[in-house]
């Protein structure tokens, strides 16, 4: 989702810059990966490293070994990484060891929680990057505090919002569709949408059972639609946790089908970073099941509420938001659908004058 709008922007400058897409294979389930390339109109990857599976260390190591070989063969002038996954960390380290400049999209975000794997990935990636593309003012402040040069930091807005607005417009042009979400919406005129996948929430059976109990309680007043991440389904099955019939568990959805679902939800209950931002961009109430967030602007300006992980707080905030009693929020500055164009402009200037 973060690559798609950057690719579209790069396509407008094909005479000035060439690019190659590398799919590391970190997300190897079709429902979590290939379908997104299809729906978002991203060209098929030029390289597929097939490095999925294993522990964090195993996966990161496999990506580094495969990506180093690829860099030796292709000698890129710059490496661009997005987000905060293991692939982001692995490829940025390899690039810097080979003396290649690194540009990080979605730089500077910090939760302050070093128990989160993503926080380690963010910290290490930003420590070795040369260009920082930032989504919100907190990212600029974090990078300056960590000693990064002001000239390398660019507050450009958010590529996730670029993609969201682009795909929403496409969805509206398509009209009523045949996706799974259309059938659900026909059956349930009022509902909440749920996503859950953070290790701290799903790997601990006690924590997972508490959150599941909260979702069951919410569903007594508001039916919930829950596309279940493969990791989460595995943990639910392992712990023997079941939901009431008003929590409708379904397979993961493609981007467009899920967007069609959550954009009309009364509330979104999630532990996802991206959904905190996307709900803010569209003004949908969001209750985040976490004790912290690396995206504070969604709380300060947007529609997001941090609920923590205590069941009663999750229940109270979700039902209040669904009833229209939560905050309204606003779309933050530069979340206008043009972040990718700003990013490509900076990249072209850097590549033309790499030492300036």
Starting at the edge strand that comes first in sequence, how are the strands of the sheet with 153-155 ordered? 79-82, 102-107, 131-134, 153-155
Catalytic: 197?
yes
* Residues 88 and 67: beta-carbon distance below 8 Å: no
In 10 A of CB 248, how many CB atoms? 18
In the numeric block, the tokens 């996966």 are attached to 59
Q: Report the distance separating Cα 259 and Cα 40, nearest Å.
A: 12
Q: Report the distance separating Cα 113 and Cα 120, nearest Å.
A: 9
List of residues 6+ apart from 210 with CB closer than 8 A: 309, 310, 311
In the numeric block, the tokens 């997972």 are attached to 208
* Residues 59 and 84: beta-carbon distance below 8 Å: no
Distance (Å) of CA 262 to CA 19, 51, 234, 276, 302: 33, 31, 23, 12, 16
* Pairing label, strands 247-250, 192-194: unpaired
Q: By C-alpha distance, which of 249, 285, 248 is closest to 270?
A: 285
Q: Report the distance separating Cα 333 and Cα 128, nearest Å.
A: 27
Catalytic residue among 48, 155, 197, 338: 197
Catalytic positions, written as ranges: 197
């Amino acid at each position: 989702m973060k690559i798609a709008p950057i690719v579209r922007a790069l396509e407008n400058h094909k005479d000035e810059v060439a690019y190659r897409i590398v799919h590391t294979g970190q997300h190897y389930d079709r429902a979590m990966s290939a379908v997104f390339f299809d729906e978002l109109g991203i060209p098929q990857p030029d390289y597929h490293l097939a490095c999925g599976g294993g522990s964090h260390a195993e996966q990161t190591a496999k990506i580094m070994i495969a990506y180093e070989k690829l860099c030796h063969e292709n000698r890129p002038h710059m490496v661009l990484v997005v987000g905060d996954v293991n692939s982001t960390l692995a490829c940025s380290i390899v690039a810097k060891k080979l003396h290649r400049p690194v540009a990080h999209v979605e730089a500077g975000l910090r939760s302050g929680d070093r128990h989160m794997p993503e926080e380690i990935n963010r910290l290490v990636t930003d420590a070795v990057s040369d260009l920082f593309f930032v989504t919100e003012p907190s990212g600029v402040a974090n990078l300056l505090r960590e000693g990064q040069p002001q000239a390398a930091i660019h507050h450009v807005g958010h590529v996730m919002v670029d993609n969201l607005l682009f795909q929403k417009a496409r969805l509206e042009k398509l009209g009523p569709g045949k996706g799974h979400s259309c059938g659900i919406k026909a059956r349930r005129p009022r509902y909440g949408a749920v996503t859950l996948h953070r290790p701290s929430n799903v790997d601990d059976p006690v924590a997972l059972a508490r959150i599941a109990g909260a979702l069951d309680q919410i569903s007594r007043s508001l039916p919930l639609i829950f596309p279940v991440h493969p990791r989460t389904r595995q943990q639910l099955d392992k712990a023997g946790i079941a939901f009431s019939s008003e929590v409708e568990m379904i397979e993961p959805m493609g981007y467009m089908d899920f967007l069609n679902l959550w954009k009309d939800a009364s509330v979104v209950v999630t532990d996802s970073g991206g959904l905190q931002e996307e709900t803010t961009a569209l003004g949908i109430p969001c209750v985040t099941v976490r004790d912290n967030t690396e995206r504070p602007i969604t709380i300060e300006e947007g529609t997001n509420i941090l609920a923590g992980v205590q069941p009663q707080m999750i229940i109270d905030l979700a039902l209040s938001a669904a009833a229209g009693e939560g905050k309204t929020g606003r779309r933050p500055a530069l979340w206008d659908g043009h972040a990718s164009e700003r990013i490509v402009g900076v990249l072209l200037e850097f590549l033309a004058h790499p030492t300036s």
